Amino acid sequence: MSDSTNDRAKDPLPKDRAKVVIIGGGIMGLGLAYNLAARGLTDVMVLEQGYLCYGASGRNGGGIRAQWSSADNIQIMKRSVEICKSFARKMGINIWFRQGGYLFLAPDEEILAGLEKNVALQREHGLDSRLINPRQARAVVPQLNTAGIAGGAYNPQDGIVFPWPFTWGYAHAAREMGVQVYPHTRVTDLDVEDGRIRRVRTDRGDVVPEMVVNATGAWSPVLAGMAGIELPNRPHRHEILVTEALKPWLSPMVSLLGHGLYFSQSMRGEIVGGISDPDEPESLSLESTTRFATRFARTAVEVCPSLSNVKVIRQWAGPYDVSPDGHPIVGEVAEVRDFIQLVAFTGHGFMMAPAVTELCAEWLVNGRKDPFFERYTLDRFRDGKTGFKAESMIIG
């Protein structure tokens, strides 16, 4: 699908005002645009600095899971999983959604004890999560090397989608309902007067908004700074790779907690995976490194020796939008009216976007404001006190 349906890059914007201007054309911004339009608010403009899927929405592993350590994240993701089930039929685009589960592995008793608490919470919220021993983990993935594994957690209802058509599906449906989506359109400044954004300046002309939504992910502190707002989230590069296609043998996404390792097998047979790097500096770099490939290969082969002779086809990088407490920053900011934040999802905004944007649209169109948009505002970071326990089930 072309991302230039509505424009030719760098031509002047055909519109100079909109009721809602969404900055960021990833799945968060496009999902919100779709959900606003589906509720009757179609005077919406989406501005994306690159092509659709330029940022994290096109650079992730496609994981969709409800296993978390906080009740809010569990509930959000239960809804996202449900949306994924009907997305292809509703939107008319195949997102290759499959529910092979997530298998979290604990390398020691301390991490296993944390998983035990998380599984109990997840089961309270209706998930089929279960704590498993090494033998049971091998029953899920027989190729595992469980030496040094204390146990794990498994939820068979978690799954994986193909990120590109998921994002394109929202874009196409939003455009069909009248939303204007402009890729290759860089915001250069925000004019704030009397506590409101009066003008969005871009390299293709200015736009007068009634409301502005910051859905720029790892670039969000820069955008918010244009309006005089300081956000505490920071960008970090996370790398990922894909191998040659193999015969199908791996159903779940596998993650080794404490090491940041994850990998799954696509429906075409490739192994797709990544590993976090604690020494990665803060940056918006999207370049690839041999250090990553070496670290991933070493750890993945330890967990699953059958990967030792598999050829890597390519690797790439994407930006995590890291929050200080692992929870997002959403909702209003005190200093600037009608400037909504949908940012700081710490690498998991892709999977949360379907439910989050649905809730956000209900608030903005119908006035039904979910407590989520009160609880996770920027205000919680005032004086350095968030009041939240950090989310512990963050990987990759």
pLDDT at residue number 305: 97
Condensed to tens digits (0 to 9), the pLDDT of residues 183-242 reads: 999 999 999 999 999 999 999 999 999 999 999 999 999 999 999 999 999 999 999 999
pLDDT at 395 over 80: yes
Task: Using pLDDT thresholds of 50, 70 and 90, give the confidence band for residue 387.
Answer: low
Pairing of strands 205-214, 261-265: unpaired
Secondary-structure percent of the chain, ordered helix, strand, coil, rounded to 5: 35, 25, 40
Condensed to tens digits (0 to 9), the pLDDT of residues 64-108 reads: 999 999 999 999 999 999 999 999 999 999 999 999 999 999 999
Task: Give me the chain's average pLDDT, please.
Answer: 95
Calpha distance 224→343 (Å, rounded) = 10
Residue 45 CA to chain centroid, in angstroms?
Answer: 21
Return the percentage of the chain with pLDDT > 90, whole number.
93
- Ordered by where they begin, the domains of the chain are 1-97+158-233+323-396 (3.50.50.60), 98-157+236-318 (3.30.9.10)
Condensed to tens digits (0 to 9), the pLDDT of residues 276-331 reads: 999 999 999 999 999 999 999 999 999 999 999 999 999 999 999 999 999 999 99
Residues 6+ apart with CB under 8 A from 120: none
Cβ proximity of 30 and 52 under 8 Å: yes
pLDDT at residue number 157: 97
Higher pLDDT, 125 or 278: 125
pLDDT at 2 over 50: no
CA dihedral 369, 374, 376, 378 (to 10 degrees): 120
Q: Which residues pair with 320 in a beta bridge?
A: 236
Provide the whole-model pTM.
Answer: 0.95
Q: What is the mean pLDDT of residues 371-395?
A: 84
pLDDT at residue number 385: 61
pLDDT at residue number 1: 42
Q: What is the mean pLDDT of residues 380-386?
A: 74
